Amino acid sequence: MEFLSEYGMFVAKAVTTVIAILVVTSVVLASGGRGRRTGKRGTVRVSKLNEHFEELRDSLREVVLDKESLKSLRKEEKKQAKANKKEAKAVRKNPADNHSDNSSTVGSSKRVYVINFKGNIAADAVVCLREEISAILSLATRDDEVLVRLESPGGMVHAYGLASSQLVRLKHAQIPLTICVDKVAASGGYMMACLADKLVAAPFAIIGSIGVLVQLPNFHRALKKHEVDYEIISAGEYKRTLTTFGEITEKGRDKVREDVETIHGIFKHWVKEHRPSVDIDKISTGETWLGSQAKERYMVDEIRTSDECILSACETADVFEVEYELPKSIQEKLGAAFESAIEKGFSQLVNQPNNDKFQ
C-alpha cells in the first residue's frame, strides 16, 4: 500500500509538472506571435455544401447499393440533371416568363450563404463575422439568404452589441436572415439571435438569459487587515464605483445598480423590437429555457437543427459556407495547439468522476 501511495504521488507530481511546462510554453509562444500581423489580411474560404453532401451520399451508395441499382440511379440522375440544365437555360433567356412558384426547381438562382459564429465572453469571433458579412453583401441579393449557425453563452455588452450590429447590416440590405442555434444562445448570444427573420433552435438548445450581470471580487477588507493602502486618484464623481481593491461605498453600489438596470432596459427593448410576439416581462428575468420551451414563449420560431435546415436548403438552392480565416504565425499555431491540449486534458480530469457515475 505504501508503494502504491508513493507511486500515486509520483504520477500526480509528474502530471502537474508537465501541465505547468505546457502552460508556460503556450504563453511564451502565444505572446511571441503577437503584433506580427501588421499589414496582413485574412482570406475568405468558400465551400459549396451541395457538393459536400453529394460526396457523402455517393460514398454511402457505393457500399450499400448493388451495381445494377447504382447504374440505374446514376442514369436517372443524369437525365434529370440534363432536363434541369435545359430548363435553367430557358429561364435565363426569358426571365420575364418565369412566374412559377415551384421552389423545388433544381438549378434555381437562389444562393444560401452559411456562416458560423462561436462566441466567447469578448465575442472575439466578430473580427471574422464582419469580414464574412462584408464579402456576402458584395454579391448577395434580396432573393438570396444568409444562415448563421450561432453558438454563444453571452459576454460583454459592447462586444455583443457590435456583433449584433453586423447582423443588422444584412437586415438593412433586406437579405433574409435565418439563425440556427444547436447548443446555446444566451444573453449576448440571444441579443444576436433575436435579429433573425427566422430563428431555429434544436430541442435541447439553451435559449434566453435576458439579463445583465456585474460581478467582481473585492479584497479591501483583506488589505485593510494587513495594513496595506490602496489609493485611487480620479476626476469625475463616478469614474470609479466598484473596484477590486478599493472600498465599496453604498453610493458607488447604487450607481452600478442604476447602470445595470439601464442596460437591462435597453436589452429588453431590443428583444421586444425584434421579437414583438414575446411577453418581454416574463422572459427577461435572466432565466434560460430549452428550445422547445422557448418556442412556447415565442422566443424561437421553429424546432430543428442547423443540419436539417442546411440539407433542406440544398434541395432548392446553391449553398455556400463562407469562412474568413486570419493568418497565424507558427508560434500562434503551436500556442493554440498547446492550449487545446491543456483544455482537453483538464476537461477529461474534471469530467471523469461524472462519466464514471453514469456508466
Q: Are residues 203 and 175 both part of a single domain?
A: yes
- Look at residue 94 and tell me whether its pLDDT is greater than 90: no
How many Cα atoms within 13 Å fall on the side-chain side of residue 166?
24
User: Do 248 and 182 fall within a single domain?
Assistant: no
Least confident stretch, 112-126, 151-165, 311-325, 333-347: 333-347
pLDDT of residue 241: 85
Q: Which of 239, 277, 282, 357 is catalytic?
A: 239
Give the residue carrying C-alpha cell 457538393.
Answer: 51
Q: Is residue 71 part of a domain?
A: no
Q: Read off the pLDDT of residues 194-243 as tens digits, 9 standing for 90 and up.
A: 999 999 999 999 999 999 998 889 888 888 888 888 888 888 888 888 88
Which residue, 197, 193, 214, is CA-closest to 264? 214
Question: Do the domain assignments include residue 302?
Answer: yes
Stretch 263-268: mean pLDDT, rounded?
97
The larger pLDDT score, comparing residue 178 to residue 100, is at: 178
142 grid coordinates: 434580396
Check residue 349 and give its pLDDT: 59
Distances (CA, A) of 67 to 64, 81, 321: 10, 21, 33
Q: Which has more pLDDT, 71 or 24?
A: 71
Q: Cα 8–12–16 angle (5° rounding)?
A: 170
Most confident of 58-72, 106-120, 143-157: 143-157
Q: Rounded to an integer, what distance in angstroms lies between the CA atom of residue 261 and that of residue 267? A: 10
Residue 237: predicted pLDDT: 82
- In the prediction, which pLDDT does 239 show? 84
The total number of structural domains that make up the chain: 3
Known active-site residue 239: yes
Is the domain of 319 the same as that of 235? no
Q: How many angstroms separate the CA atoms of 305 and 200, rounded?
A: 7
Residues 299 and 346 in one domain: no
Instruction: Please indicate, yes or no, if residue 94 is contained in any of the structural domains.
Output: no
CATH code: domain of residue 142: 3.90.226.10
Q: Are residues 163 and 305 in the same domain?
A: yes
201 and 298 housed in the same domain:
yes
The reply to whether 240 and 314 lie within a common domain is no
- Does position 282 have pLDDT exceeding 80, yes or no? yes
Can 344 be counted among the known catalytic residues?
Answer: no
**Quick one: cell of 263?**
442596460
**Residue 295 covered by a domain:** yes
Find out whether 113 and 129 touch, Cβ atoms under 8 Å. no
134 with 201, same domain: the answer is: yes
**Does 102 have pLDDT greater than 60?**
no
* Entry pTM: 0.76
DSSP 182: E
Question: What does the block give as the cell for 211?
Answer: 439579463
Indicate which residue of 152, 187, 284, 306 is catalytic: 187
281 domain-assigned: no
More confident residue, 248 or 108: 248
240 and 204: one domain?
no
Q: What is the mean pLDDT of the chain?
A: 84
Whether 110 and 203 map to the same domain: the answer is yes
d(CA 145, CA 136): 10
- Report the distance separating Cα 205 and Cα 182, nearest Å: 6
Q: Looking at the domain assignment, is residue 137 inside a domain? A: yes
Regarding whether 149 and 111 lie in a shared domain, the answer is yes
Least confident of 72-81, 92-101, 131-140, 314-323: 92-101
**11: domain range?**
1-39+330-354
Q: What is the pLDDT of residue 101?
A: 45
- Asked whether residue 319 is assigned to any structural domain, the reply reads yes
Residue 292 included in any domain: yes
Question: What dihedral do alpha carbons 72, 74, 79, 81 form, nearest 10°?
Answer: 160
Clarify whether residues 200 and 53 are in a common domain: yes
pLDDT digit string (tens) for 328-356?
Answer: 777 666 766 766 676 666 556 555 554 45
- Percent with pLDDT over 70 in the chain: 76
